Structure 1
Amino acid sequence: MSRILAIDYGEKRTGIAVTDDFQIIASGLTTVATEDLFTFLNDYLQKEKVEKILVGEPKQMNGQPSQSADKIDKFCAQFELQFPTTPIIRVDERFTSKLAFKTMIDSGLKKKQRQNKALIDEISATILLQDYLARKL
């Protein structure tokens, strides 16, 4: 089998999570500067077999797209041009940052560690991926 990669796209930073080869376990992979995202993805996709990419789709509480939706749409369009054989699946990302922060508290991280926005982005991507895997079963 191959992996599934999840992306929590942000204006400055992008959190990335990945499954194992059997698509059972979701783990945080890294957080990269968004300006370096395509370089990272190009390198990663050359080294690892990835079946699909999940991209968080930001929505407001009423289900309408959020302000950042245009930027994510542009990212997805550029991704499809660069990597036409790797499908993108858009997934609702509402509450992932709040869940990530709660996860950090529940795991006992100190306040200074919880202020690490890169870690929040990575955990958010992991939550996106875990939710997708749970729905897939």
Structure 2
Amino acid sequence: MRPQRFERLLLDAATSIPGVTAQTLAAAGHTAHPYGIAVQAAGRTTRWQIVAAHQGDDYARPEPAPTLGERLPEPPLAAVTTDPATVEQALVAAVLRGDQGEIRAVAPYSQRPDPPAVAYGATFDLYSGARIYLNAIS
């Protein structure tokens, strides 16, 4: 899955969360990052950047057919508050609900014992070998 398609999945997933509205970063006027969404929830806007890595993928060619596997269990959809961790949890849950079976594993940043430099977001490992990083940028 390439960033463009993940962005569509993420946008559809975000808009399915009660009390949440979302748009692409480009639609929100944020042009510093080519892929991502801006989420409005609980009176606050957070921006989420999408970065993808897939060794050997040639972006000059059409995207290959999805590689499917066993779907991950769908976690409960968390209520969204002003805490970015709740937005992260709701986005992960909503993405897994919308996934057709491409996601092999997901690691939310806020649940790691030693969170990375970006405190909120998630890494999605796909059956195709691709990896998608969803990073909170504000």
Q: Give the TM-score taking structure 2 as reference length.
A: 0.29
**Bigger proportion of residues as helix:** 1
Q: Give the TM-score taking structure 1 as reference length.
A: 0.29
